[in-house]
Amino acid sequence: MIKQSILASLLPALLLGGCMGTENRGLESVHQPVITRSDYAIDLGVTGGALAQGEQQRLAGWIATMHLGYGDRVAIDDPAAEGYRVRADVAAVVARYGLLLSTDAPVTPAALTPGSIRVVISRMRADVPRCPDWSRNSSDDFTANTSSNYGCASNRNLAAMVANPADLVRGAPGTETSDAALSYKAIDTYRKKAPTGAGGLSASTMGGK
């Protein structure tokens, strides 16, 4: 009787333990990429509306240290219009990395000192938190959930491969025009390619000597 009562008391706990963990009730995984943004800033001195002497070189060194690349956004924060001739100087440095200056600067916490402007690099990162996730035992799941780890692999690969994480939030606009010749080029190459078996079989392949 004692053994039976112990088993009876443990049975609800065992059943509850099998149902704990992340629930995936549908085919749309609960594990989705999360986009985070980090802003990095440098303040540069301004003289006569342009960058002060040596500031363009300091900006170039800072940008090289930040490993600027595709997906980064660079903007100028100049609420007092101190550097009305600065944009061309900053754009020249940013252009070395194949990027253009953004027109919208994010809000930064610190106030600008008079006679200076702020260059801000905004960088986004995509990741899928809590993956891998083996928190749920699917072998005794009586509520028809998919695995707690469902979606982790595909969505983490997507987050790692996307060139611009912002595209996962708002998408990427398509081109306004399409070049039919460019689209046809790949098809035409495929059609003109000779079949792999066009040359026949060699004697060695057929078993000849």
> Integer distance in angstroms from the first to the last C-alpha of the chain?
84
Say yes or no: 94 and 82 in one domain.
Answer: yes
In angstroms, the CA 198 to CA 195 distance is 5
Judgement on whether residues 67 and 104 belong to the same structural domain of the protein: yes
Collect all residues with Cβ–Cβ distance below 8 Å to 70 and sequence separation of at least 6.
98, 99, 163, 164
pTM of structure: 0.63
Indicate whether 75 and 89 sit together in one domain.
Answer: yes
**Does 87 share its domain with 28?**
no
Residue 54 in any domain: the answer is yes
27 domain residue, yes or no = yes
In-domain check, residue 173: no
Give pLDDT tens digits for 17-75: 445 788 888 788 999 999 999 999 999 999 988 899 999 999 999 999 999 988 899 99
Whether 100 and 80 share a structural domain: yes
| Residues spanned by the domain of 146 | 13-32+128-161
* 133 shares a domain with 118: no
Q: For residue 183, tell me if it sits in a domain.
A: no
* Each residue's pLDDT tens digit, 169-179: 887 777 667 77
